[in-house]
Structure 1
Amino acid sequence: MGFAEEAPSGGRLEPGELVAGQYEVDRCFARGAFGFVYLARDRNLQGKQVVLKGLTRPHDTAAIKLAAHESRVLTALEHPSIVRIFNVVTHRGLSYLVMDHVDGPTLRSVRDAGGLTIADALACAVDVLGALGYLHRQGLLYCDMKPDNVIRAGESVKLVDFGAIRRTGDRESPVLGTPPYLVGHTEIREHGLTERADIHAVGVMLDELVECDAGEPGAESFRRLVARATADFDRRFADVPEMLNQVHGVLREVRCLADGRPRPARSAVFAESAALLDDGLSLAPPLAAWTGDGGGALADGRPSPADVAAGLPVPFPDPADPRTPLLHSVRAPDPRRLLTKLASVPASVEVDFHRARANLEAGDLAAAGHCLRSAERQLGWRAHHDWRASWHRGLLALAEGRVGAAAELFDDVYRSVPGEPAPKLALGFCAEHLSRPDTAARLYEAVWACDRSHAGAAFGLARIRLRAGERGAAVAILDEVPEISLHRHGAAVAAVRILAGHLPGGGRPSAGDLAAAADRVHTLTLDSEESWLRLATAVLESAFSFVLDHGDGSLPPGPVLGDPVSEKGLRDRLERSYRELSRQARTAGEHGVLIDRANAVRARSLW
C-alpha cells in the first residue's frame, strides 16, 4: 500500500502547443496527484474552452494503469455534479483526458474567502453526495474528496478531479488521497477503501467549510451530522443514501429556522404518529373541575413520561430484517391482541422490538425489558451502534419514569439521525420534565419550524410559554396548528382555556383575553354539547371574576357574555350553566355540588 507523491515537473505542455492536432494549450493552471491540468481551446469547436488532464509520470506503471482506467470508465460517466469527460487523446506518448471547462471557484477558495453558511455547505453536500452515490452505483469509489476538487458553478457544484478513482473492492492499487480527508491506516488495513471512506471525506470537508457558533440555528444538528460522518467505521453512515437522508433533514431544519417557512417531508426511518403529547389541555375541562379538586390555576397539560413513551413516533422496521415483510401485515386493535399474533411470528430483532412496544403500551414493563434484551442479544456487538436499540431503551426508561436515563438514550439516537424530528421531540419532553425549559423550547422549535404536523411540539412550546406567564405567546403557537391537522380542534380548545385561565404563576386574564376567549368559544364546534357547555362555563367563570373586580361594562358584549356584560347578567348565565352541568353528574354527590354552585351564584332579589 502506497500513497501518492507530488508529481515532478517534467513533460510540461507549453502555451500554444497543439495536442492531438485539435487542442491548443493556453496555460497550465492546476496540478493533480498524477499530472498537470491545462486550459486549452478546441479548434474543431470554434475555440471552445476545454481542460486537458495529463499524466506526468510515464514510468510509474501504477499511474499508467490508473490513467487507462480513468479513460475507459470516466468517459462513460454522466451526472450533473460530475465534470463531463468527452475525449481521450495521446500526445508525445502521453494520454490526456479532455474535459469540460467548469468556470467557478473551488470550495477551498470559497472557504478561504470567508467560508460558507451551514445552509450553503449542506446544499453543496447534497450535490456532492448525489455524485458519490452515482459513482458508488457504478461500482466506483472517488477516494479524493476535498474542497480543492469541488468547483462551485452557480447554484451547483461539480467534482472535477478523478485521479484517485478506483473500483469498489480494489485492495491492490496504490491508495491515493489527501489526509485528513483520507481515512486512517488502521481502517484501510482492516476494511480497505469503501463507500464509508468517501463519506468520511465529505464529513471532514463539511467541518472545514463551516465556522458556526453553538447557538446558531441548526448548528447542533449540523455538528452531529459531521460527527457521525467522521466517526469510527462501525458508527459512521453506512452508505450515501443514509447520509443524504440526514443531510436533507438538517438542511430543512436550518432553512426553516432561518425563514420561518415550514418544509414538511415524510421521514424515511420513522412512521408518523397520530398521538398528541398532551394531558388534557386540548379537551374541555372535565366535570371534576367543578365537582372535585380540579379548580384553581390552569394545568399546563404536560403528559406523563409513560404516556409520552406510548405516543412518540415508531421507527420503521429495518428492511434488512427477515421478518419485516411479515410485520407489515400484522395488525391488531389493542396491544394484548397484537402480542397474541406476534407470538406465532418467528423471532427476529424487529419482532422483539414490536413485542417490546406492545408490552409498553399494555403496561407490562418487565416483559418489554425482556424483549429488548432478546433483541440486543441477536444484534450482538451491533447493539452498541444500532440507534433503534437506543430508541427502544429510551422508551422503556420513560415508561419506568427514569427520564434522565431516557434523555441520554435519545441523545444517542439524535447523534445517529440528526435530521430526524422524532429524537428532538423526545429530548424536548425530557428537558421539559427535567425543568430545562430553554433546552426544551429549542428542541421543540426545531421540530415545529420544519413541520406543522408535529402538533406535540406546538403543545410543548405552548406549555413552556404558559409556565413563563406568556399567555399570548402560548396562544399564538397553538394558532399555527393548520386547519388540516388532526389536532387543530384540540389546539383551538387549548387556546380558549389559556385565554380564560388563571396561570400557575397567578396571572389573570385581561379584558382582551376574555373577549377573545368568548368569541372563540362561540364559534367553536366540539364533539358534544356537553363538552361545549363545560368550556363555555369556564369562560363565564373567569369573566364573572373579572367583572366583580372591575365593574359592569368592563368587558365587551357578545353572544357568550351577554349584552351588556354585567354582574347580574353573568350571574344569571352562570346559574343556568351550573344547572345544565348538573345533568352530566354521574352521582348524587356531584349533582348536589353543582346545584349548590348554581344557588351560590344566583342573583339575590329584594323580594
Structure 2
Amino acid sequence: MNRCVEPGCPGSYEDGWCNFCGSPEPSQAPVAATPFTPPPAADRDAAASAPDLAGTAGEDLSSSDPAAAAPHVATPAPGQSTRAVRAASERHRRAQAAQRRSRLGMGLTQVPPVPVGDPTAAVPDDPQVPEDRRVCPNCGAPVGRAAGDASGRQQGYCPQCRAPYSFTPKLAPGDLVAGQYEVVGALAHGGMGWIYLARDKNVSDRWVVLKGLLNTGDADALDAAVAEQQFLAQVKHPLIVEIYNVVTHEGDAYTVMEYVGGTSLKQMLKQRMATTGRYNAFPVDQALAFVLETLPAFSHLHDLGLLYCDFKPDNLIQEGDAVKLIDLGGVRRQDDLESPIYGTVGYQAPEVPEVGPSVASDIWTIGRTLCVLTFEFRGYQSEYVASLPPVSQVPPFLEHDAFYRLVARCCAPDPNDRFLTVEELRLQMIGVLRQVVAAGSASAATMSAHSTTFEAPVSTGETLAWWELPELTRDETDPMVDWVASLQSADPTALHDALLGADETTSEVLVARARTGIRTGQQPWFDEAVRGLVRLDPWDWRAAWLRGLWALSQAGEDATRAGAAGQSAAGHFAAVRDALPGEVAPRLALALSSEIGGYSKAAELDYERVWRTDAAYVAPAAFGLYRVRRSRDDDDGAIAALDSVPPSSRAHPRARWLRAELLRGRGTLADLRESVHAVARLTLDPRQRAHFNASIYEQALTQVAQHGEQPGWRLGEVPVTREALRRAVEKEYRYLADYTPDPLERAALIDRANTIRPWSWT
C-alpha cells in the first residue's frame, strides 16, 4: 500500500482511501458513492457467502451525524453485498470528514487531525535516560556514560565531585500512589523528572500522568518541581494541561496531571522525517495555525503574572483538531528574581542569563519555535543561537515576506523591539496567516478582515492620494480620545488651535495635530507633533506612518520631486510594515510610495499582496495594478486587474469604464465589441455615452475599410457593415448636437453627421 500524502498522516491508501485520515488517494476524486459494476456470477456467490465485517474496526455507522447516515446505502444494488455498500458509505463519510476544515487555523487553512491512540502503547518496555543526557546534578559533569565495552550506569557517584546520582524510575507498574493512582509505567523523561502513566482508581479509571523528579539529588530540580505544583494549582485554561492533585509517595512528591493523548509537534516532525528520509518541515500555514491556537494560553499565563519560559515543539501536543500546552516545569513568576531559570538552548532568549525571563523572552521562544517548525534550522543551538539565518538561506522567508517579518520581530535582538504583548502578536499572526494562505491564490480576495489599527480604505477612483489611505483607528485607551473625536471644525487651522488647548497632550491629541499639519502643509506643526509622539513612546509606529503621509503630501506634479517624495515615504511605510507584518494598510501605502518613487516592480508585488489578501482593499489595489501595468504597456494585465473589481464595489463602474477605454484604444473589432459590452449597463451621462459610441463606430469603420465587413458581428445592436456603421455614427452626432448649447459647436456636429451619412442616388 502507498503511504498517505496528507501532511503528518501516518496512514496508507487502501481501496483508494487513506485508512487513517480518510482522505482520497490523489488519483481518485471524492464521490458520493463508489459506482457499482456487477461482478461475474461466481464472484457474486462468493461475496454473498462472505461474512459481513464492515464497520467492526471503524466508527459506529449509526451516528446521528447526517454525513454519517449516508441514506444512499439503504438498499444494495443487485449482486452487491451489504459489506460493499457499508464500506462505500464509510469511505464517503471519511472523505467528507477530511474535507471539513479543522478548528486550527481559524478556518483559513486545513490541518489534518491527530486521533488519540491507546495510552498504554506509549509506555516503553525499558525506560532509560539516554546517556548523552546524564549529567551530575551537583557539578554538571557527564555521568553514567559507557566506558569501553561496559554500558553506562543508571545510578552511581559522580567521578568528579562524588555526589550521588540516579536516573532510574522510582515507580514501577502496579504501584499504587497515594492509595488512588495505579501506575502503568514510565512514559518519558523530561528536563526535571520522570513522567508516569497511571489510572485514577477513584474516578472511573481515567488516565492521568504522574510527574516526579528525574534526579532526587538535584536541589534546583526539587525547587522547580515544588514551584510548578504551586503554579499549576492556579492555572485553569482549556489550552493548558490541567493539574488534578499533588500527592506524596514514599517521601517523594508527585504532580497528578491530565493525560493528553495526542502527538507533540516534535514527534510529528520526526514522523515526517522518517517518511521522507530528510527534514520535512510543516507548511508555513500549518505551523502558524499550531502556534496561533496556543497564544491565548500564553496570554492567560501572563495575565496571572507567570512566564512559560520553555516553549518549543516538544511542549505542544496536537490532539484531534486541537492543541494543548504541556510541561509547565519552567514556569515562574514575572517578579521572581531568585529561582533557577529553566529553558532550552536555541529557544531561550539571549538576554535571559543576564536579566532573567520576561514577556519579551516568551515571545522570542514563540518565534524560534516557528523557525524550527517551518525549515531545517541548522545551527540554531550554536551559530544562530542568538540570531536568525540569512533570508537567502531560508525558503519560507523568501516565499512569505510577511512571515519573515513576523519572526524577525519576535526574535529581535533588543527585547524592546519585540511585540509588546502576546495579544499584539496574535493579531499580527492572524494577518500573516491570511497573507500566507492568500499567496497561493491567483484571484482577488473575497473576504475582508477586521483591523484594530486601521480603518477600511475609502478610495473608489483610479488614482490614490495620501488622504485616501486607510485612517488610523482611535486608541480607546487614550484619556483624550473622546474629546478629540468631539472636535468638529472643518477648518484645519481652527482645529489645530483647538488641539493646542487640550487639557492633556496625549498620543491621540498629537496624532490629530500632525494630521492638521499635513493637511495645511505646515511642517513646523507636523514636526512638533511627531516629536512629541516619539517622546511619549519611542516605539510608537504611528510616528513612521505620519512621516510617510507627510512625504506623500509633498510629492507635487514635478516628476523629480515626486520620485524623491515617494522614496522617502517608502522608507517610513516599510518601518510600519516591519512593525505590523499582519496588516494590509502599510502594504498598500508602501505600494503607492514605490509607484510614485519609480519602483514599479516593487509596487506591483505589494499591490498583488494586498489584492489577494483582503476584499476591502481589492479596489484600490486593482487600480494600482492597472496603473503600474499600463506604465509598461501591459494592457492584458491592466484589463485583468480592472476585471477583479467586484460588482459590489462602488469602484466597479469606474473599472468598467477604464476597461472599455483601454479596449477601445487597442482598436481591433474584437476589442471594440468587448468595449461596447463593458459599458452596456453603466449609467453614463448622455453626452458621454454618445461620444463613446461615435468613437467606437468610427474606429469600426476604419477596421472595415482595412479588413472588410463582418455582417455576422455586432457592436451592441449595430451590424459591422459600412452602411449600418455610418448610420450609427450619424445618429450619435445628431444626438450630441441636440445636447450642445453652443451654436457653432452644434453646427459642426451636424456637418459631421451629414458628411458621414450614407447617400442614396435613387
Structure 1 residues 331 and 555: alpha-carbon distance in aligned structure 2, compared to 1, 3 A threshold: farther
1:348 maps to which residue?
Answer: 506
AA in 2 matched with 1:456: P
CA deviation profile, 1:174-193 (whole Å, cap 9, x unmatched): 222123322223x6645x42
3-state SS of paired residue (2:263):
coil
AA in 1 matched with 2:483: L
Distance 2:204 2:508 in 1: 63
1:43 maps to which residue?
Answer: 201
AA in 2 matched with 1:29: L
CA deviation profile, 1:517-551 (whole Å, cap 9, x unmatched): 2123222224x434444444454454344334333
1:254 maps to which residue?
Answer: 436
- The 5-angstrom pairing of residues 65-76 of structure 1 reads 65-76=223-234
2:63 maps to which residue?
Answer: none
Q: Which of 339, 346, 358 is matched with 1:194 structurally?
A: 358
**Pairwise CA distance, 1:202:** 0.2
3-state SS of paired residue (1:143):
coil
Q: Is the 8 A contact 1:169 1:194 kept in 2?
A: no
- The 5-angstrom pairing of residues 439-478 of structure 1 reads 439-454=602-617, 455-467=619-631, 469-478=633-642
Q: Which of 521, 526, 529 is matched with 1:374 structurally?
A: 529
Distance 1:227 1:397 in 2: 27
1:292 maps to which residue?
Answer: none
Q: CA RMSD in A?
A: 3.3
Structure 1 residues 102 and 485: alpha-carbon distance in aligned structure 2, compared to 1, 3 A threshold: same
1:213 maps to which residue?
Answer: 395
Q: Which of 532, 547, 551 is matched with 1:397 structurally?
A: 551
Q: Is the 8 A contact 2:292 2:430 kept in 1?
A: yes
Instruction: Note if 1:229 corresponds to 2:413.
Output: no
3-state SS of paired residue (1:556):
strand
3-state SS of paired residue (1:315):
coil
3-state SS of paired residue (1:426):
helix
1:388 maps to which residue?
Answer: 542
Distance 2:397 2:408 in 1: 17
Q: Is the 8 A contact 2:172 2:185 kept in 1?
A: yes
Structure 1 residues 522 and 42: alpha-carbon distance in aligned structure 2, compared to 1, 3 A threshold: same
Q: Is the 8 A contact 2:183 2:197 kept in 1?
A: yes
Structure 1 residues 89 and 444: alpha-carbon distance in aligned structure 2, compared to 1, 3 A threshold: same
Distance 1:276 1:598 in 2: 37
AA in 1 matched with 2:485: H
Q: Which of 298, 310, 315 is matched with 1:149 structurally?
A: 315
Q: Which of 703, 707, 716 is matched with 1:546 structurally?
A: 703
3-state SS of paired residue (2:236):
coil
Distance 1:470 1:244 in 2: 39
1:299 maps to which residue?
Answer: none
Distance 1:535 1:335 in 2: 41
- The 5-angstrom pairing of residues 54-203 of structure 1 reads 54-56=212-214, 58=216, 63-112=221-270, 113=273, 114-185=280-351, 189-190=354-355, 192-203=356-367
Q: Is the 8 A contact 2:310 2:342 kept in 1?
A: yes
AA in 2 matched with 1:25: V
3-state SS of paired residue (1:328):
helix
3-state SS of paired residue (1:124):
helix
Q: Which of 395, 420, 426 is matched with 2:589 structurally?
A: 426
1:289 maps to which residue?
Answer: none
3-state SS of paired residue (2:337):
coil
AA in 1 matched with 2:525: H
CA deviation profile, 1:452-481 (whole Å, cap 9, x unmatched): 221101112233444455544433433332
Distance 2:751 2:139 in 1: 92
AA in 2 matched with 1:404: Q
CA deviation profile, 1:544-598 (whole Å, cap 9, x unmatched): 443343333267225x452x23334334433443455467779889778867766
Distance 2:361 2:740 in 1: 69
AA in 1 matched with 2:452: A
Q: TM-score, normalised by structure 1?
A: 0.83
**Pairwise CA distance, 1:310:** 1.8
**Pairwise CA distance, 1:129:** 0.9
Structure 1 residues 215 and 200: alpha-carbon distance in aligned structure 2, compared to 1, 3 A threshold: closer
Distance 1:472 1:216 in 2: 28
Distance 1:575 1:374 in 2: 62
1:482 maps to which residue?
Answer: 646
Distance 1:569 1:561 in 2: 10
Structure 1 residues 146 and 544: alpha-carbon distance in aligned structure 2, compared to 1, 3 A threshold: same
CA deviation profile, 1:178-217 (whole Å, cap 9, x unmatched): 23322223x6645x42222211110111122113626865
Distance 1:80 1:538 in 2: 68
Structure 1 residues 551 and 9: alpha-carbon distance in aligned structure 2, compared to 1, 3 A threshold: same
Computing the radius of gyration from Cα coordinates, the structure with the larger value is 2
Distance 2:549 2:199 in 1: 64
Instruction: Note if 1:245 corresponds to 2:427.
Output: yes
Instruction: Note if 1:514 corresponds to 2:668.
Output: no
Q: Which moved more, 1:318-327 or 1:60-69?
A: 60-69
Aligned residue-pair number: 563
Q: Which moved more, 1:516-525 or 1:114-123?
A: 516-525
Structure 1 residues 517 and 238: alpha-carbon distance in aligned structure 2, compared to 1, 3 A threshold: same
Q: Is the 8 A contact 1:514 1:543 kept in 2?
A: yes
Q: TM-score, normalised by structure 2?
A: 0.67
Q: Is the 8 A contact 2:397 2:404 kept in 1?
A: no
Structure 1 residues 121 and 30: alpha-carbon distance in aligned structure 2, compared to 1, 3 A threshold: same
AA in 2 matched with 1:566: T
Q: Which segments of 5 or more consecutive residues in structure 1 lack a partner in the other structure? A: 280-302, 503-507
AA in 2 matched with 1:103: G
1:411 maps to which residue?
Answer: 574
What percentage of residue pairs aligned between the two structures are identical? 35
AA in 2 matched with 1:396: W
3-state SS of paired residue (2:247):
strand
Q: Is the 8 A contact 2:167 2:215 kept in 1?
A: no
Q: Which of 470, 486, 491 is matched with 1:313 structurally?
A: 470
3-state SS of paired residue (1:278):
coil
Q: Which moved more, 1:543-552 or 1:6-15?
A: 6-15
Structure 1 residues 233 and 10: alpha-carbon distance in aligned structure 2, compared to 1, 3 A threshold: same
Distance 2:527 2:717 in 1: 56
Distance 2:643 2:687 in 1: 24
Q: Is the 8 A contact 1:312 1:422 kept in 2?
A: yes
AA in 1 matched with 2:645: V
- The 5-angstrom pairing of residues 266-281 of structure 1 reads 266-276=450-460, 278-279=462-463
Q: Which moved more, 1:3-12 or 1:206-215?
A: 3-12
Q: Which segments of 5 or more consecutive residues in structure 2 lack a partner in the other structure? A: 1-136, 142-164, 274-279, 376-393, 556-564
Q: Is the 8 A contact 2:287 2:373 kept in 1?
A: yes
CA deviation profile, 1:408-431 (whole Å, cap 9, x unmatched): 111111111111111111222233
Distance 2:489 2:700 in 1: 47
Structure 1 residues 19 and 577: alpha-carbon distance in aligned structure 2, compared to 1, 3 A threshold: same
CA deviation profile, 1:386-420 (whole Å, cap 9, x unmatched): 22111111111122231112111111111111111
Structure 1 residues 523 and 87: alpha-carbon distance in aligned structure 2, compared to 1, 3 A threshold: same
AA in 2 matched with 1:460: G
Structure 1 residues 199 and 554: alpha-carbon distance in aligned structure 2, compared to 1, 3 A threshold: farther
AA in 1 matched with 2:651: H
AA in 2 matched with 1:518: V
Q: Is the 8 A contact 2:348 2:361 kept in 1?
A: yes
Q: Is the 8 A contact 1:547 1:554 kept in 2?
A: no
